[in-house]
Structure 1
């Protein structure tokens, strides 16, 4: 006797889908987001790494040739040795902020930000992915700029001294990485806040650029009038550049330990702000 076909209701029951357990941290998702951010800027190296290096080399040539004999500031160190760390830090500040802000802004406009929000990633994992990618770009710009300056300065005979010789390696690492993290988080916040690229330009042109240029990058703050010197001492970017320069020259215009504490506190506050915004979904979820 032929067996009767099974009905739909006789089909074997399928096991219910189980929730995947990641533990305290979804390391695979976090690593994937980080790699996406790194690959994003590595695909356009001439724009993301070479362009900042060339800009800083041009700054060095112009300032040294134009102002080396009328250098702004007191102190015995060579002007090139003074200027080079500031230019490296300038590259860190601009590129770390630009990476995270442009990535989030592009994702929001193209709708690809949903690909980040839908996977099982917690707010702190999303924040760490964007911050880590931006910090990596800032560090790589610093390395490329440092190598470019180390090659160009002796080649053009811009300085009689050996530039970029570390005096306090801990200060170079601490202030370089802390500055990258800080500006990466500033970029995350501005990318979440902005609704179009014009608003990102406002943040860069009216906040980041003035604060970075008026922070002692090209001069000692000792030459400033008392009022403007006080303003510079209230600028957190001054402590980034001053501490980073201290790592190379062994001299600082401000208190290095105040800079160490200020960077730690500000990074903690900015990270909590990033977490709060991402958790709320502000300007991310319809």
Structure 2
């Protein structure tokens, strides 16, 4: 089979001579139909992600595929069942093996490209806003990176929860996408007066930050007393430092949120979140957005779209 193999830090290539893996106990084999790209895949290729596997490995955190085999002494869905799974790796290939306890049946009317990019982004924002930030109707939610893979889901879910959503993204095209998904106010991320613009709108009760960098510092300084600042990631490559004295004086909660960590120490909120989100999709309450669907031969182009911030919503690879 073909697979995009990482052989060292910043060393990866599409190879056609990979053996088709066989499932072990507790695993199933999938014929992969689509793989959602995430910023973590870029970090894995560089070798800087907190959960980077030892080389060689195939990146690709989340997939949708059809069960082709079930491991020994394993109770799993029947061969031929279409499922989605967050496997942590192995998605950028034509076949892969994944833990049976992470499989999620896919609604019949959900296309594979949407299912492949659904779990991580939507559940990240759902849990971050409900379980961690405790977002309330009428509160002001600032989303940094509002047109990205996770940011756009935060915009839409925040609006559904009754928040007044301020979208911060780069350029008119991305801001228009954020507005289409529920943002009430739009601010260009390149604005030099980001803090002042947020303050002029009433300040932030909750900040959803997948970007870091200078935007993070501005949004933090525009957070209202009693507000919550949720750290999702650092797409800018710059990890911000927050002054503890400001946290103290303004009674601000600084909240770290790593969705993958919950899969290890407390998976129930994740499974409950995914079930709720699939129900919301089936009822038409949420509208997943994909800007690019590319073949496996163009996986490096897909990763470049994330790296250069030229995508909106999700980028999906179809083997």
Is the structural similarity TM-score above 0.5?
no
Q: Larger Rg: 1 or 2?
A: 1
Higher percent of residues as helix:
1
Higher normalized contact order (CA 8 Å, seq sep 6+, divided by chain length): 1
TM-score range, shorter chain: under 0.3
